Amino acid sequence: AQSAISECVNELVEYLDEKWEHLLGCDAKHLLHPSELARYADAIHKRGAPLRSVFGFIDCTIRKICRPTWWQRQAYSGHKKHHALKFQAIMLPNGIIGHLYGPMEGRRNDAFMLTESGLLQQFATFTFREDVGEDAPTEERNFYIFGDPAYGVGPHILSPYAGAGERTEEEGEWNAEMASVRIEVEHGFGIVANTWLFLNASWKMQLYHSPVG
């Protein structure tokens, strides 16, 4: 029965979340260790980014859901015009999602999710270069993530120059160079979504063609 399958999936998801939740947050001991951040930043710079300190790209993805029985207004996205759940993620240049937060109600915006996740507060404890002294300028001492203009600029996050009619030619070129590299985060979300759709379709085909005993 579909209800039994749903229960099995929910149990599995809860088990994985309880056991491996620390890897979905900020794994500063392994995946996001400062030495690894230096490797990511170097790879992004070699890919064409004008900066040497950006190690990943942050974005939110919204996943459509059926209209819920309760909390319909909270789940409704006025921008997308449907009910949904939102997730926040950081895509690393090696194709791995280095941080995942959510789900949250579809009505929430990206800036709200960033605040609620406490991500930047966590970054303040480990996103620094090991080979740079504390007396060095902040921009040389810290690593950063890069997002769209809605995220703004802070000690550990950067975004493009805003104001289409106010940017200089150099700022426009800088935005274009960062955008060409940032597209990788969209590819990351697409890979996850497409893989799930493929596996789901394959599973249904196997179920449909399996012999009935």
**pLDDT exceeds 90 at position 188:** no
Angle at 130 between CA 127 and CA 133, to 5 degrees: 105
Does 199 have pLDDT greater than 70?
Answer: no
Phi/psi zone of residue 23: left (φ > 0), alpha (ψ -120 to 50 degrees), beta?
Answer: alpha
Tens of pLDDT, residue by residue over 122-163, are 999 999 998 887 778 777 889 999 999 889 898 899 999 887
114 CB contacts (<8 Å, ≥6 apart)?
58, 88, 120, 151, 157
Judge whether residue 46 has pLDDT over 80. Answer: yes
Residue 118, SS3 per DSSP: coil
The answer to whether 83 and 66 are in contact (CB under 8 A) is yes
Q: What residues contact residue 140 under an 8 Å CB cut-off, 6+ apart? A: 53, 129, 132
Query: For the whole model, what pTM was predicted?
Result: 0.80
